[in-house]
Structure 1
Amino acid sequence: MGADQVLDGDGRASDRRGMILFLAARPVTSPRPVRPAPRRARLRGRFRFGFRPLAPYRRIFAVPGTRAFTAANLLARLPMGMLSVSAVLMIAGSRGSYALAGAVTATGLAATALAGPWTARMIDRHGQSRIAVPATALAVLGSLSLLLCVHYGAPDWTLVASYAATATTPNTGGMSRARWAHLFRDDPAARHTANSFEQAADELCFLLGPVLATLLCTALAPEAGTAVAAALLLTGVLLFAAQRRTEPPVAPAPATGRPRSPLRLPGLPPLLATFLATGAVFGSLEVVTIAFADAQGIRTAAGGLLALQAAGSCAAGLLYGLLRPAGHAGRRFLGCTAAMAALMLLPLLAAATGSWAALAAALLLAGMATAPTMVTGMGIVQALTPPGQRHEGLTLAVTALLGGIAAGSASGGWAVDHLGATGAAYGVPASAAALAAAVALLTARRGPSRPPVPVS
């Protein structure tokens, strides 16, 4: 066999020289240059990359039915920021007494603290669609009764009784959070994103609600704000209750009889105390900021200053939802409350300079700590309460916040009267934030007496 022949695997000879000549005869060509992608394609790639961080929100709203119940709930939640402002403007404009208006709304707040958990307990036992609609109808009748009593000059006590009837308004935000908790019972990351969105929605509704109420009451008629808020509430709840496929099922009654109150669940009372202090931050910050703006001669800008605080919280809530929660929820809650206590020092320092521009920036930054605190806290409430008591647990958290707001408003007013509308009055929200962090720290050191109930 020649030197240019080899044996292949089957023992047959193959001519290596022929292969070499064949390859040598092929024309030599340079490799095809790689052309850059068209500009439109490059922009498209950047566009997609820029919106990739929103994937967690696209993921939760890809579940069938979530967009429908969210839109309906936002419609029902917007009046939460309208009703009290509309009542104050309507009563003060017709009766000429802010004291009467404050007494009426304070009575309604106290009635809500009593009736709210009871309404939530009925929703836990019988379902959202069966209880939320009649409870909302009763609340709307109370609002319409208040409107008629004010318009026709009824006695003052009728105003108090009418507004107290609105206390049956269901916790619309809590019902939405309960649906997310049921849909993503096995996905903590998705629940975190959903809770972050809900907190941002709360901030948005309480930002737009007072503005819309003021516009309606001043531009149309004193009764317009209450009438529109009642119509939006009833329409939103009816649309929300119609979304049955995402409604969480009613948990079976325990075999041992009536379940114990969520207030007796280990770990929940200290958490509610933290919410109480956090509500005091909100209430006192509002009163002190209005007084500061009035003292600076820019009272009309007080709403804008408070809007910056809500905008900061809303943006922080949305950004917080993009993060994947890591570590123990109690430690994250402690970190959030500590950050809130630190950032609440900024308005105190800014107001001491007497500059409203510095205060505006400080309020924007201070608001960025409140949403993560509320998101983490509400997540812990959902983990601590069993599925059959989730609405009641969330409503108790909201009740604690409302109680804190009332106490904070009173404390902020006292500080303004005794310390003046200066930077010193901002010590009240700073102290309330420090108290919230201290309660969270003491709770974290004690540690839970039992592991949290898994969200199911």
Structure 2
Amino acid sequence: MTSPYRAIFAAPGTRAFSAAGLVGRMPLSMLGIGIVTMVSQVTGRYGLAGALSATVALSGAAFGPQVSRLVDRYGQARVLRPAAAITVLSVLVLLALVKGGAPSWLLFVCAAGAGVMPSLGAMVRARWSAIHRGTPELLHTAYSFESVVDEIVFIVGPILSIGLCTVWFAEAGPLLAALFLGAGVLLLTGQRRTEPRAHPRTHHSGGSPVRAPGMPVLIGVFVGTGMVFGGVDVITLAFADERGHKPLASLVLATYALGSCLAGLTFGLMRPRGTAQGRFLLGVTLMAVSMIPPLLVGNLAFLAVALFFSGLTIAPTMVTSMNLVERLVPRAQLTEGMTWTSTGLAIGVALGAALAGRVTDAQGASTAFAVPAGAALLAAAVAGLGYRRLRPAPERKEPRGGYDDGHGTIEAHDAIEAHDTIDGHGDMA
């Protein structure tokens, strides 16, 4: 492991909670596609399968920020365990109902319950933020590493889920996803020394972090980015199917994630220059430009190359976004703020997949690549128009004693507080 990555894991407990986060995040990429595969195999109804998967995503968009808000107030251990229990129980009941041929409305109730699944990525990043708050270079590397973990999850998860459902038994994929969630949450919440300190409601009365200046801009960009992801997934599958090579779609999509993974690893080794706002705008703009080549390709090989280069723009943009969230929202609402970006992404994925599917049916897969291209352009426009609103929260500004390291203003008292964590409970939610 190269030096910057070795440095972020020097703090006690970091390897353990990051590994727990990897396990607990696997359902992000396994559950939805596993439900689609399971339901389509058992019932043969793709419409029902897609609707149930969308219900899980939309339920997650509704419940995710609320779960994270409770985490900020009461701590990870007190909230994540019951939230995960609701999700696991809902998935298990869903599997039994599908196998037993239950009425569709019962399946949708269970799918909505599965959406209570907590955002383990936000929980892990909150721990990194508490540990490395006074060292922005290490925090940048930590966020880069977690971005790589996200890509690993989205490369391995769908292949594992689909493979288990088709090779072993239909319910195997969602079942393993539920087991991963339960194990990940238990492992993470068992590590109390690195758990960020809770902030009771009386400690912050500023309302939702969505109201923080700049957060609507970030959420809007994430909705557009999610539309890119959702659209690319659906269109790539259809593009491969039109050319008689549907099984190769997973490999093409893997190159998309691989590009992001490699970019994230490289970005974590760098000390970025300029401001976080400027890097964010540049990243979103490059993402929009990178969606032009897929409009022009005519075969799977060229599409894989185009998506690989497009993937190179993703991880650096996501890393910079997390750095911005860490500065835009009050510390007492950090977990919820990070989860709102995931919510925007989830909404965008659902919208992008639905719109791309309709355009694909009407005009074909090649034409449908205009959907993610247009979504990326919209995201770039939102970022450009809202660029000046991406300012730190009032508590992050320090009139005297602060310095700018190219990431934005870092307060001198943050560096002191970062070391004042005898039991690992820094003043960060």
Q: Same fold (TM over 0.5)?
A: yes
Residue 84 of structure 1 aligns with an amino acid whose one-letter code is: G
**1:175 Cα offset (Å):** 0.2
Distance (whole Å) between structure 1 residues aligned to residue 14 and residue 144 of structure 2: 15
SS in 1 for 2:193: coil
* Equivalence map 1:26-425=2 (5 Å): 54-254=2-202, 258-349=205-296, 351=297, 354-422=298-366, 424-425=367-368
Partner of 1:438: 381
Distance 2:375 2:285 in 1: 12
Residue 414 of structure 1: CA displacement?
Answer: 2.3
Deviation at 1:362, TM superposition (A): 0.8
Q: Is the 8 A contact 1:203 1:314 kept in 2?
A: yes
Q: Counterpart of 1:168 in 2: which secondary structure? A: coil
State the Cα distance separating 1:364 from its structure 2 match: 0.7
140-149 vs 221-230, which moves further = 221-230
Q: Does 1:429 align with 2:372?
A: yes
Letter in 1 for 2:319: V
User: 2 CA distance for matches of 1:287 and 1:90?
Assistant: 18
Q: How far apart are residue 452 of structure 1 and its match?
A: 7.9
Give, in whole Å, the separation in 2 of the partners of 1:452 and 1:344: 38
Tell me how far 1:90 sits from its aligned partner: 1.3
Q: Where does the alignment leave 5 or more consecutive residues of structure 1 unmatched?
A: 1-50
- Residues 307-326 of structure 1: CA deviation (Å, up to 9, x unaligned): 10001011111111111122
Task: Compute the displacement of 1:239 (Å).
Answer: 0.7
- Deviations for 1:261-284, whole angstroms, at most 9, x for unmatched residues? 111111111111011111111011
**Cα pair 2:83 2:118 within 8 Å, conserved:** yes
Distance of 1:168 and 1:245 partners within structure 2: 26
Provide the TM-score with structure 1 as the length reference: 0.84
Identity between Structure 1 and Structure 2 (%)? 47
Give distance in 1, aligned partners of 2:293 and 2:358.
Answer: 21
Letter in 1 for 2:372: P
Change (3 A) 1:452 1:435: farther
Q: Take 1:420 and 1:163, find their aligned partners in 2: how far apart are those partners?
A: 31
Deviations 1:315-363 (A, max 9, x none): 11111111112221101101111111111112222x2xx1321111111
| Cα deviation code 1:56-91 (max 9, x no counterpart) | 100001111000111111111112211111111111
CA contact (8 A) 2:25 2:120 kept: yes
Matches of 1:144 and 1:291, distance apart in 2: 31
Q: Give the letter aligned to residue 269 of structure 2.
A: L
Change (3 A) 1:447 1:198: closer
Q: Measure, in 2, the Cα distance between the counterparts of 1:162 and 1:447.
A: 38
- Residues 383 and 446 of structure 1: is their aligned pair in 2 closer, same or farther, counting only changes over 3 Å? closer
Q: Shift of the alpha carbon at 1:379?
A: 1.2
Hey, what's the Cα distance between the residues in 1 that align with 2:84 and 2:311? 31
Q: How many angstroms does 1:448 deviate by?
A: 4.1
Contact 2:324–2:390 (Cα < 8 Å) also in 1:
no
Post-superposition offset of 1:252 = 4.7
SS at match of 1:245: helix
TM-score, normalising length from structure 2? Answer: 0.90
In the alignment of these two chains, the number of paired residues is 399
User: Aligned partners of 1:122 and 1:393: how far apart in 2?
Assistant: 12
Q: 1:65 to 1:287 in 2, by over 3 A?
A: same
Instruction: Name the structure 1 match of 2:421.
Output: none
Q: Distance in 1 between matches of 2:140 and 2:50?
A: 37
Q: Is the 8 A contact 1:278 1:433 kept in 2?
A: yes
Larger Rg: 1
